[in-house]
Amino acid sequence: MNGQRVRDALKAGAQGLLLSLLSVGVSLLLFVLFVVSLAFVLLGLGLFTTPVIVDAIRAHANQRRMFARDWYGISIHAGYRPLHGGPRPGLAGQVERTVHMLKDPATWRDAGWLLVDAVAGFILALLPWTLLGYALYGLVLVAGVWRPIVDAGGTFWFAFVPISSWFTAVLAALTGIGLGVVGLFYNPLLIRGHFYLTRALIGASEKRLLAQRVARLTETRHDALDNSAAELRRIERDLHDGAQARLVAMGMSLGTIEALIEKDPEQAKRLLAQARENSAEALSELRDLVRGIHPPVLAERGLGDAARALALRTQLPVEVDVELPGRLEEPVESAAYFAISEVLTNAAKHAEAERAWLDIYYSRKDQTLRIAITDNGRGGASPEGGSGLRGLERRLGAFDGVLALSSPVGGPTLVTIEIPCALTEPGRRTTLR
């Protein structure tokens, strides 16, 4: 018997010990708490306890999914329904969150899994370490430990073997060794069986995942259309109120100059100087408008250099660390750039931060762009506090991107952005302080 099989069996035994404790302890406790919380919903108290308990159940289930993936490469998809727009504050938001969780089929799948996990899951996790334990226990008994036990209490049962003499003690040791050999061969299969049972109970089906994907794409498509319409309205407003007004005024000034150039040359010169100023200001506004649509540095040099240029223009010191092995698709770069701009602007204007840190990293393994923005401001930010972060979530949602916010009162604030995307051309790592 090779050493790898022994190591695998011992590792599966240790895994089984941990899983059995989680199954009979945590799963059973959470199931009881969930049932009691549902009973209290009618009294109103359950509206506050149910979301907390469901979150705990989902964390417990996600931990089991993580074990299945990391230990045996078994993928168990969650398929939880997201609460779009985030929970609203107050009692109405609490009721909405509770109803949303209870209407999610995944919540009831998790609840049913808790009870099965506390029974069948516990047994499957119990066997690997008890099989090995019986082998060790049998050897301890045959070493002479059986005698004081029998003298004190009479016949002692080891599994299905009654021990009352040396012969039965040896028979028990042989039985224990046999059970240990079974464990050496089948312990990993038992743990796999535990995870396959988990997947059968709480794993989202491909049909459900596809339906969620279609719903998500439909929602992000509407958001993208709304964002495009809002962007067009902003451009039209900026053109109408800025460059267009200056160009109209400049045209009127030129008409006046044409009439005065022979009658009053001095006045015509003053109007020409004013028209020249208007043309420069109109050109500057047009450049700002173009930069707001798609900054030239972003188009020419990519997200890394554009982020560094943005950091230099920000009102507070920003330390930038970029690790991009290549250029990204233009829409992704644009969405990431404006997300960074929005977060840094919030840090400078609202968070009263003195310093910020920007980290941009691309994972080739996950094909995901990750952006972390930290500031040492006063904290307390939330998506419910204004439309800026909600707008960012909608804009990133068009690319299947997600935004996570951690901002306790007193700071610091950490905004994490993840966008699945592919590289288009090589790049490099740089740091700006």
232-249 pLDDT per residue, tens: 565 566 565 556 666 666
Is residue 417 within 8 Å of residue 406, measured between CB atoms?
A: no
Task: Calculate mean pLDDT across residues 395-403.
Answer: 77
Checking DSSP bridges between strand 318-323 and strand 356-363, what pairing results, if any? parallel
290-302 pLDDT per residue, tens: 555 556 677 777 8
pLDDT at 382: 64
12 vs 187: CA distance, rounded Å = 6
Task: Calculate mean pLDDT across residues 334-340.
Answer: 84
| Range picked from 106-120, 205-219, 399-413 for highest mean pLDDT | 106-120
5 vs 74: CA distance, rounded Å = 20
Query: Tell me, what DSSP letter sits at residue 189?
Result: H
Is residue 124 within 8 Å of residue 15, measured between CB atoms?
A: no
> Which are the contacts of 40, defined by CB distance < 8 A and separation ≥ 6?
46, 49
* Terminal Cα distance for the chain, rounded: 58
Q: How far is CA 88 from CA 41, 44, 98, 247, in A?
A: 19, 18, 12, 46
Query: What's this model's pTM, rounded to 2 decimal places?
Result: 0.56
> Which is more confidently placed, 427 or 69?
69
Task: Calculate mean pLDDT across residues 43-58.
Answer: 88
89-121 pLDDT per residue, tens: 566 677 788 888 888 888 999 999 999 999 999
| Range picked from 199-208, 272-281, 411-420 for highest mean pLDDT | 411-420
164-181 pLDDT per residue, tens: 777 777 887 888 888 888
Is residue 417 within 8 Å of residue 339, measured between CB atoms?
A: yes
Task: Calculate mean pLDDT across residues 128-156.
Answer: 77
> Which is more confidently placed, 369 or 226?
369
Q: Is the pLDDT of residue 46 over 80?
A: yes
Query: Tell me, what DSSP letter sits at residue 412?
Result: -
pLDDT at 429: 42
Q: Mind listing the domains of the chain with CATH numbers?
A: 3-202 (no CATH), 223-293 (1.20.5), 296-432 (3.30.565.10)
Phi first, then psi, for residue 351 (nearest 5°) are: -85, -10
Amino acid symbol at 429: R
Q: Is the pLDDT of residue 395 over 70?
A: yes
